Structure 1
Amino acid sequence: MVLKLHVWGPTFGLPSIDPSCIATVAYFHRFVPRDQWTLVADHDTALSPQGEFPLLFDADEKITGFTNVVSYLRDRYAHTHDLDENLTPQQQQRTDQIALTSFLESSAGPLVDLYLYISSENYNNTTTAAYTAILPWFANYTIPPKRRDLARSRTAHLGLSSLDVAEASEDTQSGPGRGTASSEYEAAKRAAGIPTDGRTPALNMGRGKGLLGSPIYTARFKLDALSSQLLQPLADQLGNKKYMFGGDKPSGLDCLAFGYLALLRYAPVPQAWVRETMETKFPKIHSYVGRLREELLYNEDVGAADVWSIATGKAVASDLGMQLPWASRSPRATLPQVLGAVHDSVLPHALQRDPIVRHGTSGSSKSQPSVLPSPFAINTLVTVTSAVAVGLTALAIHYRRSPRDGALIFWALRPLQPVFEPVFEGFGVDSFLKQL
Structure 2
Amino acid sequence: MVLELHVWGPAFGLPSIEPECIATVAYCQRVIPKGDWTLVAEHDPTVGATESLPILFDDDVATASGFEDIVAYLRNHPAVTNDLDVNLSSRQQIDRTAFITFLQSTATPLIDLSLYVSAENYNTATSSAYTAILPWYANYTVPPKRRDLARARTAHMGLSSLDVDTTAEEGFAPGRGTASSEYEAAKRAAGIPTESQPSAMSMGRGKGLGGLLGGQVYAARFRLDALSGELLDPLSDLLGKRDHLFRGEQPSSLDCLAFGYLSLLYFPTVPQAWLRETIQTKYPRIGAYIRKLRKEFFYTDEVDPVDVWSVSTGAKKSLRSTSLPWTARSQTLASSTVASAKEILGNIPGLSALSRRHNVVVSQPTLVSKRVRSELPSPLFVNTLLGVTTVFAVGLASLAVHHRRSPREGELIFWALRPTTGLGEAGSILSVFANSLHDGAMY
Q: Using structure 2 for the length normalisation, give the TM-score.
A: 0.72
Identity score, percent: 48
**Partner of 1:119 in structure 2?**
118
Letter in 1 for 2:163: D
Q: Is the 8 A contact 1:137 1:372 kept in 2?
A: no
Match of 2:434 among 367, 378, 382: 382
- Report whether the alignment pairs 1:70 with 2:122: no
Question: How far 1:281 sits from its partner (Å)?
Answer: 1.0
Q: Is the 8 A contact 1:317 1:326 kept in 2?
A: yes
**Partner of 1:96 in structure 2?**
95
Cα distance in structure 2, aligned partners of 1:163 and 1:374: 21
Q: Is the 8 A contact 2:131 2:414 kept in 1?
A: no
Alignment of 1:345-424 (within 5 A): 379=431, 382=434
Q: Tell me which moved more, 245-254 or 285-294.
A: 245-254
**Partner of 1:294 in structure 2?**
295
**Partner of 2:218 in structure 1?**
217
Q: Are the structure 2 counterparts of residues 138 and 81 from structure 1 closer, same or farther at C-alpha, using a change threshold of 3 Å?
A: farther
**Partner of 1:325 in structure 2?**
325
Q: Is the 8 A contact 1:311 1:328 kept in 2?
A: yes
Question: How far 1:329 sits from its partner (Å)?
Answer: 0.4
**Partner of 2:174 in structure 1?**
177
**Partner of 1:202 in structure 2?**
205
**Partner of 1:244 in structure 2?**
245
Cα distance in structure 2, aligned partners of 1:336 and 1:79: 37
What residue ranges of structure 1 are gaps of 5+ in the alignment?
350-366, 390-436
Letter in 2 for 1:177: P
Deviations 1:381-420 (A, max 9, x none): 637968999xxxxxxxxxxxxxxxxxxxxxxxxxxxxxxx
Cα distance in structure 2, aligned partners of 1:270 and 1:300: 24
Aligned length: 358
- Report whether the alignment pairs 1:42 with 2:45: no
Letter in 1 for 2:4: K
**Partner of 1:160 in structure 2?**
159
Cα distance in structure 2, aligned partners of 1:34 and 1:134: 25
SS at match of 1:256: helix
Q: Are the structure 2 counterparts of residues 347 and 232 from structure 1 closer, same or farther at C-alpha, using a change threshold of 3 Å?
A: same
Cα distance in structure 2, aligned partners of 1:215 and 1:230: 23
Question: How far 1:76 sits from its partner (Å)?
Answer: 3.7
Cα distance in structure 1, aligned partners of 2:291 and 2:8: 22
SS at match of 1:305: helix
**Partner of 2:146 in structure 1?**
147
SS at match of 1:63: strand
Q: Are the structure 2 counterparts of residues 176 and 275 from structure 1 closer, same or farther at C-alpha, using a change threshold of 3 Å?
A: closer
Question: How far 1:162 sits from its partner (Å)?
Answer: 1.2
Letter in 2 for 1:131: Y
Cα distance in structure 2, aligned partners of 1:204 and 1:338: 57
SS at match of 1:310: helix
Cα distance in structure 2, aligned partners of 1:293 and 1:119: 26
SS at match of 2:76: helix
Q: Are the structure 2 counterparts of residues 33 and 387 from structure 1 closer, same or farther at C-alpha, using a change threshold of 3 Å?
A: closer
Question: How far 1:166 sits from its partner (Å)?
Answer: 1.8
Cα distance in structure 2, aligned partners of 1:100 and 1:288: 17
Cα distance in structure 2, aligned partners of 1:243 and 1:380: 50
Cα distance in structure 2, aligned partners of 1:4 and 1:275: 33
Q: Tell me which moved more, 58-67 or 103-112.
A: 58-67
SS at match of 1:210: helix
**Partner of 1:53 in structure 2?**
53
Q: Is the 8 A contact 1:181 1:216 kept in 2?
A: no
SS at match of 2:233: helix
Question: How far 1:172 sits from its partner (Å)?
Answer: 6.2
Letter in 2 for 1:75: N
Q: Are the structure 2 counterparts of residues 68 and 136 from structure 1 closer, same or farther at C-alpha, using a change threshold of 3 Å?
A: same
Question: How far 1:378 sits from its partner (Å)?
Answer: 5.3
**Partner of 1:23 in structure 2?**
23
Cα distance in structure 1, aligned partners of 2:45 and 2:212: 44
After superposition, the CA RMSD in angstroms is: 3.6
- Deviation >4 Å, runs of 4+: 178-183, 345-349, 367-378, 383-389
What residue ranges of structure 2 are gaps of 5+ in the alignment?
192-196, 351-410, 420-427
Q: Is the 8 A contact 1:29 1:296 kept in 2?
A: yes
Q: Are the structure 2 counterparts of residues 143 and 297 from structure 1 closer, same or farther at C-alpha, using a change threshold of 3 Å?
A: same
Q: Using structure 1 for the length normalisation, give the TM-score.
A: 0.73
